[in-house]
């Protein structure tokens, strides 16, 4: 086979994503596999080799027919399934197969994951389940392909795991992350009560929105002039984005952060992985919504951030997360009550909004109403969390406390009846927290 530099890049991607899949808990041991297409050739994980030992040169190459054409290692035992999906779906450039635990729980139940969280739309109106077939067989490949059809970007494999697809490797990997995330939220919501499900038309709207998610190259949104001022605010957005990911407050590119200086606001760019965002990548917008600097378009949730800042003079920063325990209560449409004293960082409870379309003025208005003047956080129905503070560090601290209190309340409710703090004690806590820390 003649040397192919682009195929070398695909082999490198398979090697890198395998390590990431292991680090992010999407598989254990040598389970799962990844493939990336380059023309009529496919770079695919080698069979049975630990991910942290796979270098790019160890990644074999198969043809679109599934036959090996290059490499000294044997291709994954699931090469039939990967090749079949890529061959039959012109829109698929990569396949990620995981054994992620929450999604695999539903696979073991032979139950689809239902739309209790809006990020299901990365996949479709649900995450369907393919019937069980022995691993590595043509029958499993056919079952997966039949279940995906033309409309789903992922499916569960009964008593096995997950298949996720995308136009390229990063897109397929993002789908795999979202499958595990929404499976976790759905599992926890079922444990805690009765989730509120999104209507078919709401999911259809979301699927359409996600088709244009990320950087579109729209010159009316992103402008050529780089952001050169508000250095402190832009650094805070970049740094806290990485911290949000590291602390488990979001997955993939979900969530967003903004911080203001007067009438100008630094906010993270849309659809860019947090680990790739430096301060110079952070766009600036005017509080009226116009982007005034930055080569990348601002977050799709810009309307919500700016509405909150316009309505609350005390708010200097907004943090929007998809933290899993808090998002569980968002999917239940239930507030987080005061069963732990740290709820006072947010208010007497963490209220919840009705569902509204992400990125819409309606979602911003719902968040403003739920926050009112008395709350520093609210849940967004079937979506996630909004927290606010006088600066970015304060808003991020509230986000951490909301997720902590949500987890404590979830776990307490699973084994008993948590005790609720009285209003008088909460008022006392508000006074204590108002001057918490070093006074100088």
Q: Which residues are catalytic?
A: 301
CB 203 within 8 A of CB 122: no
Beta strands 129-130 and 154-157: pairing type?
Answer: parallel
CA gap 264, 262 in Å, rounded: 6
Q: Which residues contact 30 (CB under 8 A, 6 or more apart)?
A: 48, 49, 50, 51
Per the DSSP assignment, residues forming a β-bridge with 321 are 385
What SS3 class is residue 262?
A: coil
CB 305 within 8 A of CB 256: yes
Comparing C-alpha atoms, which of 343, 312, 324, 318 is closest to residue 395?
Answer: 318
* DSSP per-residue string spanning 345-406: GT-SSB-EEPP--TTSHHHHHHHHHHHTTT-SEEEETTTEEEEEESSHHHHHHHHHHHHHHH
Residue 258 structure tokens = 């903004």
């Amino acid at each position: 086979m003649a040397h192919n530099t682009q195929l070398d890049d695909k082999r490198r991607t398979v090697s890198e994503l395998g390590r990431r899949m292991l680090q992010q808990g999407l598989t254990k041991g040598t389970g799962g596999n990844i493939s990336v297409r380059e023309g009529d050739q496919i770079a695919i994980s080698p069979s049975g080799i630990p991910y942290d030992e796979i270098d790019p040169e160890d990644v074999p190459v198969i043809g679109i027919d599934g036959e090996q054409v290059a490499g000294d290692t044997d291709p994954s035992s699931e090469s039939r399934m990967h090749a079949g999906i890529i061959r039959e779906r012109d829109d698929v450039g990569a396949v990620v197969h995981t054994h992620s635990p929450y999604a695999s729980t539903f696979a073991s139940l032979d139950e689809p994951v239902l739309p209790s969280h809006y990020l299901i739309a990365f996949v479709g109106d649900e995450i369907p389940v393919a019937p069980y077939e022995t691993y590595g067989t043509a029958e499993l490949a056919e079952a997966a392909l039949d279940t995906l059809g033309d409309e789903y970007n992922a499916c569960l494999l009964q008593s096995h795991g997950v298949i996720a697809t995308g136009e390229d490797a990063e897109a397929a990997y993002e789908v795999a992350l979202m499958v595990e995330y929404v499976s976790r939220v759905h599992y926890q919501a079922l444990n805690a009560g009765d989730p509120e499900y999104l209507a078919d038309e709401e999911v259809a709207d979301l699927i359409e929105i996600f088709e244009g998610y990320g950087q579109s190259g729209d010159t009316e949104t992103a402008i050529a002039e780089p952001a050169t001022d508000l250095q402190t605010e832009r650094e805070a957005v970049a740094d806290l984005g990485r911290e949000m990911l590291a602390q488990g407050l979001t997955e993939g590119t979900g969530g967003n952060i903004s911080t203001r200086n007067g009438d100008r606001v630094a906010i993270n760019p849309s659809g860019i992985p947090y680990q790739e965002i430096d301060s110079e990548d952070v766009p600036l917008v005017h509080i009226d919504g116009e982007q005034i600097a930055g080569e990348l378009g601002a977050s799709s949730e810009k309307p919500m951030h700016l509405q909150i800042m316009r309505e609350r003079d005390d708010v200097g920063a907004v943090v929007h997360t998809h933290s899993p325990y808090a998002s569980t209560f968002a999917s239940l449409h239930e507030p987080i009550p005061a069963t732990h004293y740290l709820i006072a960082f947010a208010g007497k409870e963490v209220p919840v909004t009705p569902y509204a379309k992400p990125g819409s003025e309606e979602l911003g208005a719902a968040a403003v109403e739920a926050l009112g003047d008395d709350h520093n956080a609210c849940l967004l129905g079937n979506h996630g969390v909004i927290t606010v503070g006088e600066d970015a560090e304060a808003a991020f601290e509230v986000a951490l406390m909301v997720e902590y209190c949500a987890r404590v309340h979830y776990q307490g409710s699973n084994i008993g009846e948590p005790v609720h703090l009285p209003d008088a004690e909460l008022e006392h806590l508000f006074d204590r927290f108002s001057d918490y820390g070093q006074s100088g």
